[in-house]
Amino acid sequence: RKKKGKGKEVDDNENLDDKKSFKNQLATLDIFAGCGGLSEGLERSGVSQTKWAIEYEEPAGEAFNLNHPEASVFVNNCNVILSAIMSACGDEDDCMSTPEASDQAKKLDENEINKLPRPGQVDFINGGPPCQGFSGMNRFNKSAWSKVQCEMILAFLSFADYFRPKYFLLENVRNFVSFNKGQTFRLAIASLLEMGYQVRFGILDAGAFGVSQSRKRAFIWAASPEETLPDWPEPMHVFAGSELKISLGSGTQYAAVRSTATGA
C-alpha cells in the first residue's frame, strides 16, 4: 500500500526493509507499550521481535496493534494481566495482586487468556512505566494518581521476577533517578540485583543519537548471568557545553567564547 505525503509516495515495504532480520531475535514483551515507539526502535535494531504488548489506554493500544499487527496486544491494567498469567500457570497462590485485579483477571475470556505469554517464552521485557509521578514538569506529582503511577514500577519489576527474561530494559524520565531522594531508583536496582541480574544504568540524551532535540532519559539495563550485559551505544553527535555568563546591573551581559575570529 502506498501513502501520499507532500508530493511523495512512500511504500510501506520500505519501512520493513529498515528492520534488520536476525535469526535469533528475542521474543519480547512490551509493557506500558503506548503506540509502539520503543518496540519499533528495538525491532529496527534487529535484536527484538515484539510478540506481546500491554497498554492500559485503549486508543494507544489500538495504535500499537496497527503499528505491530503481528503482536498480541492486551488493553488492560498490567496487574490484571500478570494475575491472569499466574492463575493460568497454576501460581495463583503466589500472586500478591489486589482483590480487584484478581477479580478482573477472572473475567478475561478464554481466547485472550490463551494468547498470554508464559514463563520460558519471553526473552526480553521492556517498557517505560508512567512517568508523570517522576516528571519535574508535573506540578502535581505528589497527587494520589501520580503516586499510583509511581507504583507501576513495582508492577513492572514483578513481571521481571516472574518471567525471569534474558534481558530487561526500563526507560523513564531523568528525574526518575532523583525522585523521592532516589529511593524508587535504588529499589529498582536492588530488586534486579536480588533477582541475580547484571545491571547497568545511565542517562542518555536522544540528541546524541540523531534526534533533533535534547531529550534526556534514564535507562536501566539488566541481563541474566548467562548473557552479556549490553554496553550503551556510542554517541553520534555532541552538544556544546554550557558557557559562563556574567550579567551586570546595567543590563550588560558578558558571555565566554571558545575562540575569536583570529583563532585566539
Active site residues: 131
Estimate the crossing angle of helix 183-194 against helix 152-163, to 10 degrees: 10
Separation in Å, CA 73 to CA 13, 47, 85, 137: 23, 20, 14, 30
CB 173 within 8 A of CB 217: yes
Query: What is the torsional sign of CA 151, 165, 25, 45?
Result: positive
Work out the number of other CB atoms within 10 angstroms of the CB of residue 246.
9
Query: Left (φ > 0), alpha (ψ -120 to 50) or beta: where does 33 sit?
Result: alpha
Cell readout for 23 is 535469526
